[in-house]
Each structure stands twice: as structure tokens, then as C-alpha cells.
Structure 1
């Protein structure tokens, strides 16, 4: 099985709790904090190998200095088919899923995942092409949320949208010219699609949407990046899911 490195306190802590991850080893700086000590105790209790390292060496292992003194060598995150993710929903009729269309910035994707988990979205539909893949940057920026969401990798987003429609999902796409979300009526279960900052959703994807929604901005200054817009839309949608 292929391996990858993830890093950061929350990221490693949540990975250890995730039964869908295999943790091959945890790597920590010799001088560490109380929070890292707690993670190491949990790793030891789970019989996970623990290695200690100099900070400069850990920088090289992570290919980043932003590891907070801890990293882990892990298996790739489990991905799901649509039917598998649906079967795991506690309340399928109220399901809220997110889709990323042409989101190529891993930091944006990680931030979206963090907001999605906080706001009750339970799955991410992620095209295999033209979108950032799941990597260590996505994991770090998500601050552990990546371990709590079902990742559905698809070859064709539009085909997956049609499949979800057949299963009763309503499809909502984000676009600056859409209906303002606080005023819009939405139905569940739903899939909300976020497109790239530059081009938005692809035209064919937009055509499959049941409704286009937007964030009401108070000025004509277009200052919201994709992850912030996604967070606002997901928050407003979560308020309507009663």
C-alpha cells in the first residue's frame, strides 16, 4: 500500500482516531509540547511506532517547516463510491454534500473541507482531474477535518451529478449571479458545487444545477475567495436544514 506524510498537531491527532487510516509511524521533535505528548501517548496506546527527530530533519521529511513538531507516515485516505457514502448517512434525506469543480489550490480545498465538517456537510465529491488532489497541504489546512469527511473521487463530475439526481439529491451551484442564499429556498438532500475563483463552474456543470446561489456582497469589490464564499454558503444552507 502506498504511503504519504501528513503533519500538524490536529492533523496527526485526528488521523490516529480514524479507523480508515493505517498509521505506520509517528515522527516527533525531541523537544515537544504538552499537546504533542498527549498525541504520543495515544499513539503508544494504539501500538504505533514512534520516532524522534531533529526539527531540521522533520522539515525535510514534511517538505515544510509548518509541521508544529509532529508528523505521521500513513496510508492514503479511504475513498468512497456514491452508494457507499449514502449508505453511511445517518439521515440520508437531510444529507448535505459538497463538490469541488476545478478547485486547483490545495489550501482552498483544505479550508473548504474544514468549514464543511464544522457545518455538517458529510461528503466531498472530488473530480480526479482539473481539481487539487488530497495531499499533505490539504490535510494540514483542514486541521484534521479531512479525517471526518467521506471523500468521493469521481472520473466525471457531471455523470455523478446525474446519478445523485436519480437518488433524490437537489443540485445547487455557486455563482456571483445566482439567487442570494439567505433568500433562496433549498431542498434536501443536496449537493453544493463550488467552482474555481477565476472561471467558476464549468458550463455543463452549471446546466445540471437545479438552482444557482450566491453570497450577497455589500460592495462591488469582489474580495471573497472560493473557500470563504463556500463557508458562507454552507453556513446559510445548514441553517435551513431543520
Structure 2
């Protein structure tokens, strides 16, 4: 994204969390709704004073216009557009850590709410980085930030030109790739130890054919109900907690 573009972080939890992180230096201005509860107002002013950020009190109608009617809870931050991590730098960094890295690759997730929810679960389960494509997918937006409730600031997101080529590069660096499909190995048998990449497909089409050909194994979520599909963020959550269980089994 162009560094001169502007975006928003809004909502009480997402806004305060952003103010408390090192990313706060990207905040241009804080818009705070008039006549909010004193506790939130005081906390915002205290944090803004430490970061030397301007706070402007405005009516609710202005905040409604800024975020197109979304639920801002009286707090909107205007910031420089969200920054993406460089994948090569991340991989080099992971080479130096003791534990084996776990990466999450998202094949054309289009709904920003899904991406935000996935980032939230990725943070909770210790995912090292998320990889998304530059085209035909949602990027990091204010809606993603709001839905992630601050996780967007803690999970590195790399955006790449071609997921197939990226998968080939990762395999050369010793990573195993696991995809999701209606026919595959029961996810409860999945051993996620080692350098691992979990690939989640598009909400409607799943993993693209060429990318699926790069997978070392396909995983299936068994379903016994009448509806034989799950929301992308829900399916990702189930698989990420299986990863966490596999890497950190109960003693």
C-alpha cells in the first residue's frame, strides 16, 4: 500500500490496543465522541498524551460518516495504511528461533470479517505469520482491524504475488504444506510438528487447483450434520487448535 494512504482503526478494544502498541506512531489523529463515559475518555487522553497524538472531540454523526456507519463505539483512529511484513525477512528470522515455525496461508479470503477473525485465532494459537495474495483477496483494512480486536498488530502478515510460487519456495526451505478438502485425512490425526504451513481456501471455491497440487497432505473436518460446510474462519479455528494441541499435548 502507498504510505500516504489513510485508513481507520475504530472501536474501544481495537483502538485502545492499537494505542498501546509500537504501531501507535502511525496514528495521525484520534477522534473521540463527545460525552462518552469518563473512564474511556480519560484512558484515551492519557495514552494520547504519552504518544503526543492530537485528540479531537466530535459528535457521533462525524464518526458515523468516517466509518460509514460501522459500530465505532465512540473511538476512531486515523492511521497510515497497514503495513505488510516481508516474507523473506520473516523466514530468515524464523531460522534463528528454537521452535519450528507455523505459517498460515490464505487462498483468496474475500470477507474482511473472516480475515479479522482468522487473525484473532492465529494470535491466540501462536501462528508465526499469515500469508495472503495481493490479488483477488481482502487486505488489511479497518474492518479487519476491528474484527481482529487488536490481533492485527501482533501477527505478521505477508502479501505475495503468487501463492503457488511461494509454496514451492517454502517447500525448498523445508516446510510441509497441508491443505483442506472434503476428502482427506481426518484432521484429528494431523501431526503439525516441524516446519508447517496450513493452507485455507476461498470461502466458496476452496483451494485453487494449482495450489492444491503443491500440498503434501489434505485434511478433512468430519461433519455429521445436514450442512456439509463451515465458515472459513470457523474451520481455520478448529484446525489451528488442533495444531496447538499437536505441538503442546497435555501431559
TM-score (norm 1): 0.93
- Give distance in 1, aligned partners of 2:153 and 2:123: 10
Q: Deviations over 1:181-229 (max 9, x none)?
A: 1112333221111111221000111110111112222334225211100
Q: Is the 8 A contact 1:15 1:144 kept in 2?
A: yes
| In the alignment, structure 1 residue 158 sits paired with structure 2 residue 161 | no
Q: Is the 8 A contact 1:86 1:92 kept in 2?
A: no
SS at match of 2:88: helix
Counterpart pick for 1:58 among 50, 56, 63: 63
| In the alignment, structure 1 residue 72 sits paired with structure 2 residue 83 | no
Q: CA RMSD in A?
A: 1.7
SS at match of 1:186: coil
> Residue 73 of structure 1: CA displacement?
0.7
User: Which ranges in structure 2 are unaligned for 5 or more consecutive residues?
Assistant: none
Distance 1:80 1:158, change over 3 A: same
Distance 1:92 1:66, change over 3 A: farther
- Give distance in 1, aligned partners of 2:98 and 2:209: 28
- Give distance in 2, aligned partners of 1:229 and 1:139: 20
Moved over 3 A (4+): 87-93
| In the alignment, structure 1 residue 134 sits paired with structure 2 residue 140 | yes
Q: Is the 8 A contact 1:110 1:142 kept in 2?
A: yes
Q: Is the 8 A contact 1:214 1:233 kept in 2?
A: no
Q: Is the 8 A contact 1:126 1:152 kept in 2?
A: yes
TM-score (norm 2): 0.90
SS at match of 2:64: helix
SS at match of 1:45: helix
Residue in 1 that maps onto 2:36:
32
Q: Is the 8 A contact 2:30 2:54 kept in 1?
A: yes
